[in-house]
Amino acid sequence: MYNRYTLFSTLSVTYCVNQFHKIEYSVSEFRVIVIMIIWVLTYFLNSDEILRFFISSSGFM
C-alpha cells in the first residue's frame, strides 16, 4: 500500500512539474492534473466527501 502510494504520488508530481514547466499548456491538461490529484487524495483517504467538496468548489464538473 505504501509503495503503491509512493509510486503513484511520485508519478503524479512528476507529471505536474513537467506540465507546469511548459510555457503553453491547455486548460484540459490542467483539468486532468487537478482531477488526478483529487482522485489520488480521495482514493487513499477513502472519502467521498472530499471529492464532492472539490467538485462543488472548483466548478470543473
> b/e string for 3-25 if b means 16 or more Cβ within 10 A?
eeeeeeeeeeeeeeeeeeeeeee
pLDDT grade for 9, boundaries at 50, 70 and 90: confident
Asked whether residue 36 carries a pLDDT value surpassing 80, the answer given is yes
Block residue for cell numbers 509503495: 3
pTM of the model: 0.34
